[in-house]
Amino acid sequence: MPETADGRSVRYHWAQGGDVSAFLGLASDNVAQLIVFATLLIQVFGYPADLVLQRMVPGTALGVLLGDLLYTWMAFRLARRTGRSDVTAMPLGIDTPSLFGLTLGVLGPLHQATGDPVLSWQAGMALMVCMGVCKIVLSFVAAPLARLLPGAALLGTIGAIGVLLIAFFPTLKVLSLPLVGLPTLLVGLLALLRPPRMPLGIPPILLVVLLGTGLFYAAAALGLVPGHARSVPALTLAVPWPTLSFARGMEAALPYLPVALPLALVTVIGGIDVTASAAAAGDAYSTRNVLLTEGVSTLLAGLCGGVIQTTPYIGHPAYKRMGGRAAYTLATALFVGLGGVLGLLGLLVHAVPEVVLAPILVFIGIEIAAQAFLSVPARHAPAVAAAFLPVVAHLALLLLGQVLPGTGSGAPTGAARTTMQTLTLLSSGFVLSSLLWGACVAYSIDGRLAQAAAALLACGLGALFGLVHSPLPSGATFLPWRLPDRTPWLTAGGYLVAAILLLLALPVVKKADDAAAGPPGPGHDKPATTA
């Protein structure tokens, strides 16, 4: 039992009424993500349903189970150490940018390229193992790393993924069935952007799902949903055991590390921010332990068949205002984890139409993009915008690949072929190049041209080995001296020249800044005194 500073015992109220609202919010968020993930793989990319629902989903859900259980335990430990009865556990769940980044950037394209869903799944497992190990290592050096990159670069990359990948494709789904999608989208945006006070604290996200599902089945009953025929799957026990299957997918996964590792880095940086916001709300957790937990849960999920990483969620202060303590993370862990194992999530995948979830994802994408601009200094807004450009190229390439299959294989000729090659260059390693472009612009705005040049040199080095701007249609990495194409050398040379020009401009910019600052006023060089 927690004790106060004078030794009096204080009971930790780890479960109370507010945990119901907090659980509905956190659990519905995670379940919605798993439904979207499974729907994308099965309906868009043609993965076998049993592979997704019995191997990928249970393994991914296991990461949520472990992470939220550990965060629940950390809440009890913090309450015991501080003697406080109102400690709120850190929320953990499936990382949204990774869900779309890995699904649309790795799992889908790899399956289309190889035609082998099992190999593609094993490659996804291998990436998860690499990301988990990366996050565990970074948890010990995270604070200096967070200070290395400007917030505009990190948030710009997330914002670009939010609006261009998370929000754009669901918007297409909304308009594919406008009778259901448009009312759900418009009501959903109103409910989520200006949340109404619901009975029993029911989250607005649940209201949107119920409304959309009701509209869908009503339209289906009237024959207004073309080709609607949904079979109810049987409940199937699928226990995610650790396996070495990821080793068979490691070779196929290596070319996609430039996509996966930056996503892991972003969750580490985000975890630092989330821990700081929890401390501001009164719950001072150890940053290293918060990050170590997400790393371990990601690693375990990858070893057990999962393909999407976990991350601490931003909403700790909101869950604390709801009155959540530790019961809501415990309930979420059991609901999501056991739901994946028992096949309940598979039932939800078939019961909840994709067009119903699409408006929620549109809101999430818009919110992420808006926060990217609102959370940085106004002068850094151009840096956030610059981070969007590589992601735009990736979106364009995805769309062209769907509309014109084979466009990445050299089928176009003349100007069209040149455009496709350039799109391939800009799209390859888009997460890392987006991060570095945003950093370069933010540093330049602040007059920190040496750091901006360093970001350009990092981009050039990455281009030399295909970490960014790979000319290969698959986006694979390579050794430049073994590649007949001179593009990597030319691209790296372009970054080198740009970096040199920035360094040469450094004295000029410094002189201009000094002139703008003006001469020191009276007493400027005197030491400060205290009253």
Summarised one tens digit per residue, pLDDT across range 466-512 is 888 989 876 777 889 988 889 999 999 999 999 999 999 999 888 88
- Picking from 95-99, 272-276, 460-464, 500-504, which range would have the lowest pLDDT averaged per residue? 272-276
Q: Distance (Å, rounded) from C-alpha 252 to C-alpha 124?
A: 9
Give 108-121 pLDDT, tens digit per residue: 989 988 999 999 99
More confident residue, 228 or 515: 515
For residues 468-491, one letter each, b for 16 or more C-beta atoms within 10 angstroms of the residue's C-beta and e for the rest, the string is bbbbbbebebbeeeebeeebbeeb
Report the 10 Å Cβ neighbour count for 464.
21
- At residue 212, φ and ψ (nearest 5 deg) are -65, -40
- Please say whether the beta carbons of 157 and 392 come within 8 A: no
Cα-Cα-Cα-Cα dihedral sign, residues 438, 444, 446, 451: positive
Q: Is the pLDDT of residue 517 over 80?
A: no
Question: What pLDDT score does 367 carry?
Answer: 76
Q: Distance (Å, rounded) from C-alpha 461 to C-alpha 163?
A: 29
- Please say whether the beta carbons of 4 and 79 come within 8 A: no
- Picking from 66-75, 331-340, 354-363, which range would have the lowest pLDDT averaged per residue? 354-363
Q: What integer best gives the mean pLDDT of the chain?
A: 84
What is the C-alpha R_g of the chain? 24
Percent of the residues in the chain that have a pLDDT greater than 70, as a whole number: 88
Q: Is the pLDDT of residue 5 over 50?
A: no
- Please say whether the beta carbons of 426 and 390 come within 8 A: yes
Termini Cα distance of the chain: 46
- Please say whether the beta carbons of 408 and 397 come within 8 A: yes
Residue in 327, 340, 332, 338 with CA at minimum distance from that of residue 312 = 332
* pLDDT mean over 19-43: 82
Q: Looking at residue 85, what DSSP letter applies?
A: S
Q: Distance (Å, rounded) from C-alpha 86 to C-alpha 74?
A: 13
Q: Is the pLDDT of residue 84 over 80?
A: yes
Q: Is the pLDDT of residue 300 over 70?
A: yes
Cα-Cα-Cα-Cα dihedral sign, residues 350, 352, 358, 364: negative
Question: What pLDDT score does 524 carry?
Answer: 44
Give alpha helix (H) positions in 281-429: 287-303, 316-322, 327-342, 344-351, 354-374, 381-403, 414-427
Q: Is the pLDDT of residue 297 over 80?
A: yes
Q: Is the pLDDT of residue 126 over 90?
A: yes
More confident residue, 84 or 401: 84
Q: Distance (Å, rounded) from C-alpha 132 to C-alpha 128?
A: 6
* pLDDT mean over 297-323: 88
* pLDDT mean over 436-447: 94
